[in-house]
Structure 1
Amino acid sequence: MTKHDIQQLIEAGLPGATVRVISDDGQHFEAEVIYSGFAGKLPLAQHRMVYATLGDRMGREIHALQLKTRAS
């Protein structure tokens, strides 16, 4: 799984989101997600929405993902 793959999955699951994914080692990733659908939601709910776009890849293909989320 590449940072580009992760970005595409999040963008597909959260249409209109602005997503930036970085990784230094190809196993640990950091994503910044800006999405209007986050408005009024607590950070935990925002993170759950992002994780839902990745499904069972979390913990398997994606070893670790640090999230920064905010509403646009």
Structure 2
Amino acid sequence: MSDINGLEPLATFCGNCNCGCPQLFVDPSAPAERRVLLTDDFGQRVQMSVEQFASLVEEAKAGKLDGIAIA
């Protein structure tokens, strides 16, 4: 991902290669509705609020995303 200046890294998903793995960041200078940033290895980015991200985490913990991870 380009331009990660000022972003606080939280997690890298995969991390076993140099392919530009998806990453999760917090942007402390972004508006509240765009504070959490998820990037992918294709250069795309998704921005969401902390509340939206918390909802995503809650859904994942409840198993609602488990079907996606089965490959």
Same fold judged by TM-score > 0.5? no
Instruction: Write 1 or 2 for the structure with the bigger share of helix.
Output: 1
Rg bigger for which structure? Answer: 2
How does the TM-score come out when normalised to structure 2? 0.33
How does the TM-score come out when normalised to structure 1? 0.33
